[in-house]
Amino acid sequence: DSGVTQTPKHLITATGQRVTLRCSPRSGDLSVYWYQQSLDQGLQFLIHYYNGEERAKGNILERFSAQQFPDLHSELNLSSLELGDSALYFCASSPRRESTEAFFGQGTRLTVV
């Protein structure tokens, strides 16, 4: 158990809908990272938050947004969903701004039908 909690574990939704994925980092970790992993693909970095502030953006679509709350949990919002958005979405946390030795949650498997 990495200490990073993601909910829900599975999500099935229709095209055009909006969903929210939630991540609770390890106790004391200030950094939260979101990644997307499509079937049999590597990890695509989406966005990084540190202590409530956005620090870096990767290949994140405009239909996607995220935020980190004062209690350090984070939410990834995906809207106007398309079939191609079906993927595993991982959250990772680390104690520092840098992403070295980030700890990953178990992921949310999103299926868009």
Answer yes or no: are the C-beta atoms of 105 and 7 closer than 8 Å: no
Instruction: Report the largest interatomic distance among the alpha carbons of the chain, rounded to a whole angstrom.
Output: 38
Q: Which part of the chain contacts other proteins (CB under 8 A), choosing from 14-22, 43-51, 59-67, 73-81?
A: 43-51
Please select the residue that binds other proteins; options are 11, 19, 93, 105, rule is CB under 8 A.
105
Return the DSSP state at 71.
T
Measured CA to CA, the distance from residue 113 to residue 83 in angstroms comes to 6
Q: Are strands 74-78 and 19-24 parallel, antiparallel or unpaired?
A: antiparallel
What minimum distance in Å lies between the beta carbon of 70 and other proteins?
A: 23
Instruction: Map residues 51-70 to x or -, x wherever contact with other proteins holds by CB under 8 A.
Output: ----xx-x------------
Query: Any bridge partners for residue 64, and if so which?
Result: 78
Report how many residues bind other proteins under the rule CB under 8 A.
25
Tell me which residues touch other proteins (CB under 8 A): 2, 4, 40-43, 45, 48, 55-56, 58, 90, 92, 97-107, 109
